[in-house]
Amino acid sequence: MPRLRITNVRAICTAPEGIRLVVVKIETNEPEIYGLGCATFTQRPLAVVEALETYLKPQLIGRDPNDIEDIYQTCYLSSYWRTGPIMNNALSGVDQALWDIKGKRAGMPVYQLLGGKVRTAATVYTHASGRDVQEVEEHARMLMGLGFTHIRAQVEIAGYSTYGAQGGSEPADAGTPVQAHVGHRPTHLEPVQRPWHESSYLRAVPKLFEHLRMTLGDEVELLHDIHERVSPIQAIGLAKELEQFRLYFLEDPLAPEDIGWFPRLRQQTSIPIAMGELFVNQTEWETLIKDRLIDYIRVHISAIGGLSIARKLAAFAEFFGVRTAWHGPGDVSPIGHAANLHLDISSTNFGIQELHLFNDTAREVFPGTPEVRDGMLWCNDKPGLGVDIDEKLAAKYPFPEHELHGAFPAVRRIDGSVIRW
């Protein structure tokens, strides 16, 4: 039997929900054996395609796809300057595709290669939002009626921009193409979006959770994403105010640039903290985990370089009592969601999985997309990652065109100054 070799590596770009997704396909000299991996960096997708096809592909052609770790290290070190979301996403596409191939060759789902199942399915949290607290409550009730036990709640601030609710600026959550939010190029005096107003947000969030606890009771698990929008000291104040509402976790209270504030946050409150979707480098999470400054590590697996590094991160976190909550928005492809899930069901220190409910079009483009039942996410038992791509259909959903090419539009304060997203 001839040795298995990589014969082709290419990126597939598709946007079945209007959100730019990048998937890497690795082909081999055995035509039925190919692998798929997620390389989605929705704000800079074409840079990832270029990094993959120009710089990684030549190192991969002819190699044995079984050598995942050696290929990973070779590609990782080949740029001398390492990490960053572009190189990491390209590397993740390759890495996940190699795990997919290994699983297919072994005739086993990837979770078996990771040590086997420790749970039947992954508990998920889903998103409730609304224009006011009543609407958030109704949305949450609807989700609870569908069997969801963990709900992230975000409320609109009337007249202002916010994250994760209507009037917000986030495209991925709403499944709305980015161009819907972009009228014309913003100037300093003329923001295209509603402005951001910190103190209104800081007043609104405790009221939201007071209302939800009063109306929904104690049993439902509630979560909230600050999305790094307030200053460190304001985040500490908000975390302390929210403690009484017993959140499952408070997400991204601080920006990666402000991780030095975590010890202060931790000393002030016992609210469970989730952090990390913007991390791209091991030095960003090492101290937070080893000093037990967070409770959930929720990196975007393709942004840190793929499944190989994520499984090491999960094992590292386990030793310090930190649980996993991998980032799972609409700008992770169904293949990336499957990679999250294979780790979820094989990691002892799994905490929770963020859910994105893919629409029917995305499910047709990606047959095998994980299924949601009883508030949980279920992995299929197909060999590999278990998700395929219908390339002909994928081509019918090209990237939406607009002037920012996927970049997020600026969010501004009333005085016109730009804030973090």
**Vertex 308, ends 305 and 313: CA angle to 5°?**
85
Q: What Cα–Cα distance (Å) separates residue 264 from each residue in 26, 239, 268, 278?
A: 46, 12, 6, 21
Nearer to Mg ion, 100 or 225 (CB): 225
Task: Identify residues 145-174 at the interface with ligand GCO (CB under 6 A).
Answer: 170, 172-173
Instruction: Name the closest residue to ligand GCO (Cβ).
Output: 329
**Residue 397 annotated in active site:** no
Write the DSSP symbol of residue 370: P
In the set 34, 125, 163, 248, the catalytic residue is: 163
Cβ burial, residue 214 (10 Å; 0-12/13-18/19+): exposed
Q: Which does 329 bind (CB under 5 to 8 A by kind): ligand GCO, Mg ion, none?
A: ligand GCO
Q: What Cα–Cα distance (Å) separates residue 85 from each residue in 98, 247, 278, 303, 356?
A: 20, 30, 9, 5, 21
In the set 127, 227, 300, 356, the catalytic residue is: 227
Task: Identify residues 334-373 at the interface with ligand GCO (CB under 6 A).
Answer: 354
Please, what is the minimum distance in Å from the beta carbon of residue 28 to Mg ion? 36
> Of these, 177, 253, 329, 386, which contacts ligand GCO (CB under 6 A)?
329
Nearer to ligand GCO, 111 or 366 (CB): 366
CB 317 within 8 A of CB 311: no
CB 387 within 8 A of CB 368: yes
Task: Identify residues 1-60 at the interface with ligand GCO (CB under 6 A).
Answer: 42
List the 21-28 sheet strands across, edge first.
6-14, 21-28, 34-38
Nearer to ligand GCO, 42 or 349 (CB): 42
Q: Tell whether residue 227 is a contact of ligand GCO (CB under 6 A).
A: yes
Q: Which does 170 bind (CB under 5 to 8 A by kind): ligand GCO, Mg ion, none?
A: ligand GCO
CA distance 328 to 340: 8
**Residue 127 annotated in active site:** no
The residues assigned a catalytic role are: 163, 227
Task: Name the site residues for ligand GCO (rule: CB under 6 A).
Answer: 42, 170, 172-173, 225, 227, 277, 329, 331, 354
